Amino acid sequence: MEYHALADYFPMLPPEEFEQLKDSIKKFGLLEPITTLDGKILDGRNRYEACQAVGVEPKYQEYKGNGHNPLDFVVAANMRRRHLTEAQKAQIIIDVEGRPAAMGREDSGIEAAIARGNNVHPWVDVRPPSYTELARKAGVSEQTIKRVAEVQDRPELTAQLREGTMTARSASNERMREVAKKAEIEPTWQGLYAKAPYANAITQALSAVINGVDRWLSNEYGLSKIDPRGHTPLLLKRVDQAIAALERFKKALEELRDE
């Protein structure tokens, strides 16, 4: 019997688990029917193969939907039932839904499906999902989704995540090592963060100061309402302190550059 394209998002059981499934079906029969859609197996490929292997007649049920699309059904059924690693769940949900919104619209679920050679289905949402949505559907943390999302440009890493042979943290670290190595030849902001993670916090702090000052100058925070004789001297003192701190930091960076 043919497999439905939507079933291909999830890997087949590893050999040891498949043997356990065969033993169970041989002893107790097929306890949960195989779900079909349009004459193809939508959910239950492993059960079907195990039935064939031990000579048990499979039982089938046609997918009814009950208001839910078959893609959501496949995801929900397999995320709940399968012994998948956190990284596998995160990678699979990104395969299905596309990269999170922050990563760009060009990786929508439909285009991701086309890239894998699967049929495009009307149930795939072209709207980029959020980290929160993906984490909820996969049953993993947003941090796991973030780590997996950032390595989608590394096919060798996504393959290992999909197979369950690499953790999300390991994949993220591997990619950052590659970025850091490349940055030694061609300096980039991304390479800087890879080599010095806290540099990101530094640039964010400096950006906050610059943006804040610009807003104050535009009177967004009511700068014009400050008492010129009362509070202004206190503010000027704090500004002097900030300038002195920035000068010290600038000097330290210059010394680091000139080493």
pLDDT at 119: 42
The answer to the question of residue 213 being in a domain is no
The answer to the question of residue 235 being in a domain is yes
* Domain termination site, one of 148, 167, 182: 182
**Domain containing residue 16:** 5-72
Mean pLDDT, consecutive 10-residue segments, the chain of 259 residues?
A: 91 92 95 93 95 95 84 86 87 89 48 43 62 90 93 93 93 84 64 67 84 79 73 86 92 84
In what side-by-side order are the strands of the sheet with 34-37? 40-43, 34-37, 60-62
The count of structural domains within the chain is 3
pLDDT at 227: 77
The answer to the question of residue 195 being in a domain is no
Same-domain pairing of 39 and 14: yes
Same-domain pairing of 171 and 96: yes
Joined tokens for residue 88 = 């596998």
Same-domain pairing of 62 and 104: no
Identify whether the C-beta of residue 148 lies closer than 8 Å to the C-beta of residue 171. Answer: yes
The answer to the question of residue 129 being in a domain is yes
Joined tokens for residue 22 = 């065969």
Identify whether the C-beta of residue 64 lies closer than 8 Å to the C-beta of residue 25. Answer: no
pLDDT at 124: 52
The answer to the question of residue 165 being in a domain is yes
The answer to the question of residue 212 being in a domain is no
Q: Which residue has the tokens 């998948």?
A: 84
pLDDT at 117: 41
The answer to the question of residue 201 being in a domain is no
Same-domain pairing of 68 and 118: no
Same-domain pairing of 113 and 175: yes
pLDDT at 244: 93
Identify whether the C-beta of residue 99 lies closer than 8 Å to the C-beta of residue 107. Answer: yes
